[in-house]
């Protein structure tokens, strides 16, 4: 690529880091206030106990569990999509990957907090960590919650490394453009990156191996989250379809979140030249595929339950189809299928605005889906004497709102301190592909490659 184009890319992507506008401070202040309110509410809940929430017999999992599943699902936006696109060498991925990987890291952190928030005594959460102790307790490896601990931590560790490693060359670029204290900080963050051919090869090989490892881990994470439900003998939970259903739903909501984040970044940071309509078009096609897949799984799950006509399952089924949860169920169907289908299937409607509207619908729909999996089943267990209802209380609503604000806040801070589009990967995308193939062939002929 020519030198001027490379310079323009660097200039455009480093600019948001080196120049701070009032919008940044306003965003941090507003989002930070909501997060502060949510954290204060959590302390209030710890002080007064879980009785201040709507969790009560027989529904002990409400908004907190819904948010846990929802955020873990959103985390599938990034690393999984980025890893798949990297392996299939989709060239259009380059401006998208870091936006996506950041969503994964932050959504996992927020999602992993909810089991802690849902604990009456969160300071004992470290009992999950396996080590020989005097108290004679040991984590039970047959508990799906312990599987969650291992799966989420593996995915979080791998995703953070997958996000951080390709940042090193970009930190080096920012280091060379910055001055004073910033230069020192980015100098430390770049870990002495030099950009020698050896470093580039090692980085690319490492990213490729990690992409291969992360795909099955990502699939396993949401399958294991689904096991929290499907391993329990609760009506409409003990389902063999839950693993793939959860994974499909997670990727679905993840792509939607990614599209919304991309549209916001594009507008606020003026990155129209890099996040182009083609990226929204391609991700829109993926979202459409996932919408169809979600519809297929939902139909499968509902049809088999209805056909079996099991006395214990039918009350749950009807409570969602025509009972008290029906408005939520049909809103979910509208948001996840009826709204996105025309917007994404008709080429003329698959614009940036169209994909963002569809994505907003999907995020709402998928949150409702998580709620409808968790609550109606617990409210209608096998024996009618144990039936009950669930109404969320203000602490749960504030904490949930705070989790969305936390996502926004972390993303705003990330965009402020890290180039949100990978500079070096974008530059590589401008290289002529034919020449690369020729160079590899030449090196092979010279015996330099194994």
Partner 1 sequence: MKAVYALYSHPDAAQRAVDELRAAGINDRAITIMSSEPLEEYEFGQRDRKTWMTWIAALGGAIGMTTGYLLTRLTQSAWPIDTGGMPIVSNWTNLIIIFELTMLGSVFATVITLLITARIPGRQSPLHDPEISDGQILIGVLQPSDPDVVERALRIGAGEKLKTIS
Q: Where on the chain is the footprint of partner 1 (CB under 8 A)?
A: 2-3, 6-7, 10, 130, 136, 138, 140-143, 146-147, 150-151, 154, 157-158, 161, 165, 168-169, 172-173, 175-177, 187, 191-206, 209-210, 213-214, 216-217, 220, 224, 423-424, 427-428, 431-432, 435-436, 438-440, 442-443, 448-450
How far, in Å, CA of 354 to CA of 191, rounded? 42
Q: Is 56 helix (H, G, I), strand (E, B) or coil?
A: strand
User: Under a CB-based contact definition with an 8 Å cutoff, are residues 409 and 32 in contact?
Assistant: yes
Q: How far is the CB of 199 from partner 1 (least distance, A)?
A: 4
Residue placing its CB nearer to partner 1 in the complex, 49 or 433: 433
Dihedral sign (CA 331, 333, 335, 339): negative
Q: How far is the CB of 125 from partner 1 (least distance, A)?
A: 18
Q: How far is the CB of 376 from partner 1 (least distance, A)?
A: 25
Q: How far is the CB of 268 from partner 1 (least distance, A)?
A: 25
Residue placing its CB nearer to partner 1 in the complex, 196 or 309: 196
How far, in Å, CA of 398 to CA of 395, rounded? 5
User: Under a CB-based contact definition with an 8 Å cutoff, are residues 116 and 80 in contact?
Assistant: no
Residue placing its CB nearer to partner 1 in the complex, 200 or 341: 200
Between 314-321 and 352-379, two packed helices, what is the crossing angle to 10 degrees? 140
Residue placing its CB nearer to partner 1 in the complex, 136 or 384: 136
Six token digits for residue 448: 């330099």
User: Under a CB-based contact definition with an 8 Å cutoff, are residues 63 and 400 in contact?
Assistant: yes
Q: How far is the CB of 308 from partner 1 (least distance, A)?
A: 24
Q: How far is the CB of 428 from partner 1 (least distance, A)?
A: 6
Between 144-164 and 197-230, two packed helices, what is the crossing angle to 10 degrees? 160
Residue placing its CB nearer to partner 1 in the complex, 87 or 436: 436
Q: How far is the CB of 412 from partner 1 (least distance, A)?
A: 25
Six token digits for residue 162: 């997958």
Q: How far is the CB of 209 from partner 1 (least distance, A)?
A: 5
Residue placing its CB nearer to partner 1 in the complex, 121 or 142: 142
Beta-carbon contacts of 326 under 8 Å, excluding residues fewer than 6 positions away, are 319, 320
How far, in Å, CA of 235 to CA of 267, rounded? 46
Query: Cα-Cα-Cα-Cα dihedral of 297, 300, 306, 312, to 10°?
Result: -60
Residue placing its CB nearer to partner 1 in the complex, 26 or 440: 440
User: Under a CB-based contact definition with an 8 Å cutoff, are residues 301 and 239 in contact?
Assistant: yes
Between 277-308 and 352-379, two packed helices, what is the crossing angle to 10 degrees? 30
Residue placing its CB nearer to partner 1 in the complex, 133 or 304: 133
């Amino acid at each position: 690529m020519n030198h001027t184009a490379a310079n323009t890319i660097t200039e455009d992507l480093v600019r948001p880091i080196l120049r701070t506008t009032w919008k940044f401070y306003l965003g941090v202040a507003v989002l930070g206030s909501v997060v502060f309110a949510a954290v204060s509410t959590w302390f209030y809940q710890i002080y007064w106990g879980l009785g201040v929430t709507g969790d009560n017999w027989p529904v002990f999992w409400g908004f907190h569990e819904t948010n846990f599943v929802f955020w873990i699902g959103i985390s599938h936006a990034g690393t999984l999509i980025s890893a798949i696109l990297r392996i299939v060498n989709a060239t259009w991925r380059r401006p998208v990957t870091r936006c996506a990987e950041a969503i994964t890291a932050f959504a996992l952190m927020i999602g992993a907090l909810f089991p802690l928030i849902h604990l009456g005594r969160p300071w004992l959460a470290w009992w999950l960590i396996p080590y020989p102790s005097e108290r004679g307790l040991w984590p039970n490896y047959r508990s799906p919650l312990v599987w969650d601990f291992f799966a989420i931590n593996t995915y979080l560790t791998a995703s953070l490394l997958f996000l951080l490693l390709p940042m090193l060359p970009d930190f080096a670029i920012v280091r060379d453009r910055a001055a004073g204290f910033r230069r020192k900080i980015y100098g430390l963050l770049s870990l002495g990156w030099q950009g020698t051919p050896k470093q580039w090869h090692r980085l690319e090989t490492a990213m490729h191996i990690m992409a291969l490892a992360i795909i099955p881990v990502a699939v396993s994470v949401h399958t294991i989250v689904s096991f929290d439900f499907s391993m329990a003998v609760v009506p409409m939970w003990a389902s063999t379809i839950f693993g793939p259903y959860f994974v499909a739903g997670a990727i679905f909501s993840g792509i939607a979140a990614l599209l919304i984040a991309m549209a916001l970044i594009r507008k606020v940071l003026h990155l129209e030249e890099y996040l182009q309509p083609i990226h929204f078009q391609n991700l829109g096609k993926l979202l459409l595929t996932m919408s169809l897949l979600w519809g297929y799984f939902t139909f499968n799950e509902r049809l088999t339950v209805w056909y079996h006509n099991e006395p214990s399952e039918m009350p749950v089924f009807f409570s969602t189809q025509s009972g008290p949860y029906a408005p939520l169920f049909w809103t979910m169907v509208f948001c996840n299928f009826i709204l996105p289908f025309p917007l994404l299937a008709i080429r003329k409607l698959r614009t940036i605005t169209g994909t963002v509207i569809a994505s907003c619908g999907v995020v709402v729909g998928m949150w409702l889906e998580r709620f409808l999996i968790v609550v109606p089943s617990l409210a209608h267990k096998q024996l009618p004497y144990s039936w009950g209802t669930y109404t969320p209380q203000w602490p749960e609503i504030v904490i949930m709102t705070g989790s969305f604000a936390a996502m926004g806040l972390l993303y705003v801070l990330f965009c402020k301190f890290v180039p949100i589009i990978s500079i070096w990967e974008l530059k590589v995308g401008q290289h002529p592909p034919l020449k690369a193939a020729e160079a590899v062939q030449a090196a092979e002929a010279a015996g330099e490659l194994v």
